[in-house]
Amino acid sequence: MKLSGVLFFPVTPFDAGGGLAEEVLAEHISQRMEHGPGAVFVACGTGEFSALSEAEHARAVRVAAEAVGGRVPVFAGAGGPLGAALNQARAAKEAGADGLLLMPPYLAQGPGHGYTAYVSAIASELPVIIYQRGTVALEPDTVVELAGVPGVIGLKDGLGDIDRMQRTVLAVRERFPGFLFFNGLPTAELTMPAYRGIGVELYSSAVFAFAPEIAKAYLNGDERLLTEFYAPLVRLRGKVPGYPVSLVKAGVRLRGLDVGGVRPPLVDVTDEHLEELEALIKTGLELAAS
């Protein structure tokens, strides 16, 4: 499977009663498809994966697959306890997903071969991109082993350890040249120059969810956005835990689509920070249009 361009991670909209707003999700994805993402990753981190029930997760994936209509690959989040992850994988497959982004399992940790067995079981259902972050910090030889597991097609890096990633890319591509790597740090655009330097071109763009014009302008080489939009956005993101998701959802609302708030333990953006975000979006859009 080949991916290119900006990878789109939609938010998961909730209605006034706190339930999944399926029609709004379909509209959100349809609007962003007009800007040509390389793939859609639904019900993942930005989509509040950990706050969704299995039934909500399955419905969100089905809505996404129908809205995309086969134009680009659709990946669904999966993870947590093995039984839950398998249920998510099977439901995503039935709903029309092309692959899974495998989140780190919670709390329980085992040796490397235990994690490999966990991944292998889930990859038997759908192609898997492993998400390296938190409790999952893989050595290059472990990634080489995982790359040889049928169904494992890529690694999303959420650690930001460039030395580790360079060694991993070199080791894996020597044996598996088609294996996918992408930068999965929050506001990944700010670190993409570093990742490009080690041969990792793909990245997940949270900004694409609320300002695809800005994300596409940066992809096309407008590096003014790094200092005048992305760096200030990272500073704002760091003010409150959970803002990597809350700010994205607030940005979508500011651009005219009511996707509701976030679910606990996340908190919504304060009025003061919302004003800062609105000003940043205005600056970014002006730069993107110039």
- HEC profile of 57-90: HHHHHHHHHHHHCCCCCEEEEECCCHHHHHHHHH
Q: What is the mean pLDDT of residues 101-115?
A: 79
Residue of 115, 118, 131, 243 marked catalytic: 131
Q: Which of 87-91, 165-169, 217-221, 284-288 shows the lowest mean pLDDT across its residues?
A: 217-221
Residue 193 in tokens:
């120059």
pLDDT band at 4 (very low <50, low <70, confident <90, very high): confident
Residue 131 annotated among the catalytic residues of the structure: yes
Tell me which amino acid residue 61 is.
V
**Three-state SS annotation for 5-45:** CCEECCCCCECCCCCECHHHHHHHHHHHHCCCCCEEEECCC
CA 178 to the chain's CA centroid: 20
Is 7 within 8 Å of 188 (Cβ atoms)?
Answer: no
191-195 mean pLDDT: 94
Which two three-digit tokens encode residue 279?
């000003």
Task: Provide the percentage of residues in the chain whose pLDDT is more than 90.
Answer: 92
Strands 39-42 and 74-78: parallel
Instruction: Summarize the confidence of residues 102-122 as an average pLDDT.
Output: 84
C-alpha to C-alpha distance for 183 and 199, rounded to whole angstroms = 11
6-212 under CATH 3.40.190.290, yes or no: no
Tokens at 143, concatenated? 């990634």
> What 3-state class would DSSP assign to 205?
strand
Residue ranges of domains in the chain: 6-212
pLDDT per residue over 49-74, tens digit each? 999 999 999 999 999 999 999 999 99
Which of 96, 84, 85 has its CA nearest to residue 119?
85
Active site residue 249: no
Comparing 6 with 170, which gets the higher pLDDT? 170
**Residues 12-41: what's their mean pLDDT?**
97
Q: How far apart are CA 90 and CA 71, in angstroms?
A: 22
- C-alpha 237/C-alpha 229 separation (Å) is 12
**pLDDT score of 109 more than 80:** no
**pLDDT over 80 (residue 111):** no
Please identify which of the residues 118, 156, 195, 243 carries the catalytic annotation. 156
Given this model, what pLDDT does residue 253 score?
A: 98
Question: Contact, 101 vs 64, CB < 8 A?
Answer: no
DSSP codes of every residue in 85-122: HHHHHHHHHHHT--EEEEPPPPS----HHHHHHHHHHH
Q: Are β-strands 128-132 and 99-102 bridged in parallel, bridged antiparallel, or unpaired?
A: parallel
pLDDT confidence of 119, banded at 50, 70, 90? very high
The annotation status of 46 as a binding-site residue, yes or no, is yes
Q: What is the pLDDT of residue 110?
A: 66
Q: Please state the rounded mean pLDDT for residues 121-136.
A: 95
Task: Name which of 128, 112, 103, 126 is nearest 179 in CA terms.
Answer: 128
| Residues 6+ away with beta carbon under 8 Å from 69 | none
Question: Binning pLDDT at 50, 70 and 90, where does residue 107 land?
Answer: low
Tens digits of per-residue pLDDT, 231-256?
999 999 999 999 999 999 999 999 99
Distance, CA of 145 to CA of 128 (rounded, Å): 14
